[in-house]
A and B are shown apart, each in its own frame.
Chain A
């Protein structure tokens, strides 16, 4: 099961949901669902936003995930932490959007990264991680975020994307290399501007 629980454990999806709130939610108590949203809504939103890059699309994912959670809470057996279950719902919903958007795109890692536009470097806007990340193709960005931020393994990513582990490793390695190169170029340009 792809739950990526090797990441941070005391924030975001790693937070613990108390048994009482869970039981109230199972009984359909909307105030319990509101508590769950307060606890995990932001984590869900940030996962989707980092992968999709669009606030409106990320909010749609949060809405979809929470509606699904409310509707399917009875199927949550409790053999994994609630946050992990919700994270899986969030990841699946987000990756579904990425896959739908790139249905007619390429899956090959080389071509995927080659499709990244040449960056017109601007030292002031391109050296922060967020801006650099947003310049990656959506699939590559998804792999980077899911692996490096959310803690998914390559096997879990392969399952999520319907690809091989080699594909996941290749996309991650090339995307990180690309990020590193662009960041270094940005830093060099910043130094030359100062000079």
Chain B
């Protein structure tokens, strides 16, 4: 037995009668303060995490690779483009594709599709939509003024 190897020596010192000391009166207030500081730090850490997460989400949303933001200006240009295109088709009475007069328009459409494909920035897309609208307006205006025979000149690149 290990107890036989290490016999308990006679105790001439009574350890159960050791003096009892009281901690400083300032200790509990110190602990309370430290606890509040921890809670406060944890709160701000959480706020910081939320803010950081929001910043990451915003950065992803605004990054060029994530596509254009659906802001009102872009939507307005797209709607205007649809309206102009509809108006143009009614005037010219022909489909958008396959017509020689729509070369400029088709070129812009190709550029627009390419811009979407490579995740172009919003301002680049807005500029292309604007070009498309201007091209459609020019076509409509020219058709009304001179007839279809002059539109061909306008649609040349």
A residues near B (Cβ < 8 Å) are 30, 33-34, 37, 41-42, 45-46, 49-50, 55, 58-59, 62-63, 66-67, 70-71, 129-130, 132-133, 144-145, 148-149, 165-166, 169-170, 172-174, 176-177, 179-180, 183-184, 187
Contacts and interface: CB of A to CB of B under 8 A. Distances in A.
Given A149-B18, A172-B6, A173-B7, A179 B23 contact: no
B14 interface: yes
B15 interface: yes
Interface in B1-36: 2-3, 5-24, 27-28, 30-32, 34-35
Interface in B23-63: 23-24, 27-28, 30-32, 34-35, 38
B12 A183 contact: yes
B6 A67 contact: no
Contacts, number: 96
B12 A42 contact: no
Given A148-B15, A173-B9, A45 B32 contact: no
Nearest to B17: A129
Nearest to A12: B20
Interface of B: 2-3, 5-24, 27-28, 30-32, 34-35, 38
Question: Taking chain A's interface residues, is the majority helix, strand, or loop, or is none over half, making it mixed?
Answer: helix
A183 B38 CA distance: 47
Contacts of B20: 42, 46
A149 B23 contact: no
Contacts of B27: 41, 45, 59, 62-63
A133 B15 contact: yes
A52 B123 CA distance: 69
B6 to A, nearest CB: 4
B31 A180 contact: no
